[in-house]
């Protein structure tokens, strides 16, 4: 049985992209095993990154949202998420899921320019492949899932970066061999996704201030109704729910600083008062800010 490591937090940049904490300083590779219960409300933060991502479910189940489309993943299943897609795993029923999460930056495969132009760029830009569910019953899917398991098992060996590169090249070859044809000669990013990234970027830059729905919508150059529909699609949340959750996430680090009072933390993260902040925090974490502080320090 593979050992399970503690959850790594999803650290986000202002544009909602994830700041990936790679396993090796000189190699853009991330290999991690986690439990869905590690995340507040059994829900990871919705995010995107330039890396491609692979999830493999070892036991249990989860739902996985990619650009607003939800895929059910059961034990033995996996999923490939292409570069630049908005995604997160969750369980509305709060059911446990033990899973592998492996990220590779496509630059690993671009040691020579022809590799990038012939194999890497066409797959990343393929508008018909934002993600791909992986099922063990499909032989080439099963081969990818097996490689992911091996990568985790060998991640602490001296040659792990080389083994990871070899496995990534093999997995990428399989994806290239089976990728759907992209009919568009000049693929463009999904416009709704671009709008959504602009709106969440605005929230993350201004969360300390009082923000209205009209201001969030204006950041995406859309109406309030469209704004709400996009947040429901990509995050399964309203804009206000997303804003409060982002503020709560920002408060976690501040709670580790004993010099700051709960009231100071509430105001510094954009909440109108300590009582409202404490109420929202308890709903999110299942404990009060003070209880969280005492257990974390």
| 16 domain residue, yes or no | no
Give the Cα separation of 21 and 212 in Å (integer): 33
Question: Where is 170: in which H helix or E strand?
Answer: helix 160-178
CATH of the domain at 222: 1.10.10.60
| 88 domain residue, yes or no | yes
- The confidence score (pLDDT) of residue 4 equals 47
Same-domain status, 37 and 144: yes
SS3 label, residue 79: strand
* Mean per-residue pLDDT pooled into runs of 10, the chain (297 residues): 46 56 88 92 87 97 94 97 93 95 93 91 92 97 96 93 95 96 60 89 92 96 96 91 92 90 95 94 91 83
Neighbours of 96 (CB within 10 A): 13
The DSSP result for 40-54, as a single string, is GGGBPPPBB-SSEEE
Range of the domain at 139: 29-178
- The confidence score (pLDDT) of residue 18 equals 56
Same-domain status, 206 and 139: no
Q: Are 119 and 109 in contact (CB under 8 A)?
A: yes
If one counts the domains in the chain, the total is 2
- The confidence score (pLDDT) of residue 296 equals 74
| 58 domain residue, yes or no | yes
- The confidence score (pLDDT) of residue 294 equals 87
Same-domain status, 105 and 210: no
What does the radius of gyration of the chain's CA atoms come to, in whole angstroms?
20
| 156 domain residue, yes or no | yes
- The confidence score (pLDDT) of residue 6 equals 45
| 153 domain residue, yes or no | yes
Same-domain status, 50 and 159: yes
């Amino acid at each position: 049985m593979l050992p399970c490591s503690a959850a790594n937090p999803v650290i986000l940049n202002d544009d909602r992209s994830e700041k990936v904490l790679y396993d090796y300083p000189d190699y853009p590779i991330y290999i991690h095993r986690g439990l869905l219960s590690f995340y507040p409300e059994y829900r990871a933060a919705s995010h995107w990154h330039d890396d491609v991502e692979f999830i493999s479910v070892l036991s249990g189940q989860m739902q996985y949202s990619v650009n607003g489309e939800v895929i059910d993943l059961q034990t033995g299943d996996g999923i490939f998420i292409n570069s630049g897609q908005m995604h997160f795993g969750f369980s509305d029923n709060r059911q446990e899921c033990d899973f592998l999460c492996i990220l590779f930056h496509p630059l690993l495969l671009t040691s020579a320019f022809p590799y990038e132009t012939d194999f890497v760029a066409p797959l990343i830009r393929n508008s018909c492949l934002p993600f791909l569910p992986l099922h063990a019953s499909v032989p080439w899917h099963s081969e990818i899932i097996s490689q992911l398991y091996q990568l985790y098992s060998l991640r602490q060996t001296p040659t792990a970066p080389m083994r990871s590169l070899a496995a990534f090249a093999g997995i990428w070859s399989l994806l290239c061999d089976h990728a759907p044809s992209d009919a568009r000669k000049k693929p463009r990013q999904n416009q709704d996704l671009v709008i959504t990234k602009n709106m969440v970027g605005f929230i993350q830059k201004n969360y300390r201030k009082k923000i209205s729905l009209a201001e969030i919508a204006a950041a995406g150059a859309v109406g309030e109704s469209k704004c709400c529909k996009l947040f429901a699609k990509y995050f399964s949340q309203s804009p206000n729910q997303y804003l409060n959750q982002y503020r709560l996430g920002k408060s976690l680090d501040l709670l580790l600083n004993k010099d700051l009072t709960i009231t100071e933390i509430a105001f510094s993260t954009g909440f109108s008062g300590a009582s409202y902040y404490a109420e929202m925090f308890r709903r999110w974490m299942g404990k009060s800010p003070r209880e969280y502080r005492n257990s974390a320090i």
